Amino acid sequence: MNNVEPIRNQQKIYAIKQHILGDQYNEKYRARDYLLFVFGINSALRISDLLSLRVKDVLNAQGEIKDHFKIRTSKTKRELKILINDSVKKALEKYFEQEKFPDPEDYLFKTQTGQRLDRIRAWTLIKKWIEAVGLDPSNYGTHTLRKTWGYHSRKNFGIPIELISEKLGHSSNAVTKRYIGISQEEINNIEKKVCL
Active site residue 95: no
Annotated active-site residue in 19, 152, 170, 177: 170
Active site residue 143: yes
Annotated active-site residue in 25, 75, 77, 100: 75
Closest CA to 101 of 32, 69, 55: 55
What are the CB-based long-range contacts (under 8 Å, 24+) for 163-169?
167/44, 168/44, 169/73, 169/75, 169/76, 169/78
Closest CA to 68 of 83, 86, 88: 83
Active site residue 152: no
| Residue 68, amino acid | H
Annotated active-site residue in 46, 147, 152, 167: 46
Annotated active-site residue in 30, 32, 146, 177: 146
The answer to whether 102 and 55 are in contact (CB under 8 A) is yes
Annotated active-site residue in 107, 140, 151, 179: 179
The answer to whether 59 and 42 are in contact (CB under 8 A) is no
Annotated active-site residue in 143, 152, 154, 177: 143
Active site residue 8: no
Catalytically active residues, by annotation: 46, 75, 143, 146, 170, 179
